[in-house]
Amino acid sequence: MVIKFKTLLPLLLLFSLVHPHFAASIAQNINLTNINSIVGNCNLYKGKWAFDPSYPFYRSKSRAQPKGCPFIDPEFDCTNFGRADTAYLKYAWKPDGCKMPRFNGLEFLKRWRGKRIMFVGDSLSLNQWQSLACMIHAFVPNSNIAYTRQGTLSSVTFRDYRVSLLYYRSTYLVDIIGGVLKLDSIVEGKAWLGMNVLVFNTWHWWVHTGSAQGWNKMEYNGRQVKDMDRHVAFRRGLTTWARWVDRYVNPVVTKVFFQGISPSHYKCNGQKQPSAASATQVNMPQEAQIVYDVLRTIRKPVTLLDITGLSQLRIDAHPSIYGGAGAGNDCSHWCLAGLPDTWNQLLYASL
Active-site residue (options: 122, 175, 316, 330): 330
What's the mean pLDDT when you consider all of the chain?
Answer: 88
pLDDT of residue 102: 92
pLDDT of residue 327: 61
Judge whether residue 29 has pLDDT over 90: no
pLDDT of residue 166: 98
Of all residues in the chain, what percent carry a pLDDT higher than 90?
77
Q: What is the DSSP string of 75-97?
A: GG-TGGGT----GGGGEEEEETT
Q: Residue 278 CB: number of other CB atoms within 10 A?
A: 15
Judge whether residue 250 has pLDDT over 60: yes
pLDDT of residue 277: 77
Judge whether residue 184 has pLDDT over 50: yes
Tell me how far apart the alpha carbons of residues 327 and 339 are, in angstroms, rounded to a whole number.
19
Read off the pTM: 0.88
Mean pLDDT value of segment 290-307: 96
pLDDT of residue 25: 35
Write out pLDDT tens, residues 193-242.
999 999 999 999 999 999 899 999 999 999 999 999 999 999 999 999 99
| CA neighbor of 21 nearest in space, from 53, 44, 51 | 44
Write out pLDDT tens, residues 47-99.
999 999 999 999 999 888 888 999 999 999 999 999 999 999 999 999 988 88
Active-site residue (options: 123, 155, 320, 332): 123
pLDDT of residue 245: 98
> Dihedral sign, CA of 92, 93, 95, 100?
negative
Judge whether residue 321 has pLDDT over 70: yes
Tell me how far apart the alpha carbons of residues 350 and 117 are, in angstroms, rounded to a whole number.
14
Active-site residue (options: 154, 185, 333, 341): 333
Q: Residue 104 CB: number of other CB atoms within 10 A?
A: 14
Tell me how far apart the alpha carbons of residues 112 and 206 are, in angstroms, rounded to a whole number.
34
Rg (CA), the chain: 20
Write out pLDDT tens, residues 141-181.
999 999 999 999 999 999 999 999 999 999 999 999 999 99
pLDDT of residue 40: 41
User: Could you say which DSSP state residue 307 is in?
Assistant: -
330 is catalytic: yes
62 is catalytic: no
Mean pLDDT value of segment 27-46: 51
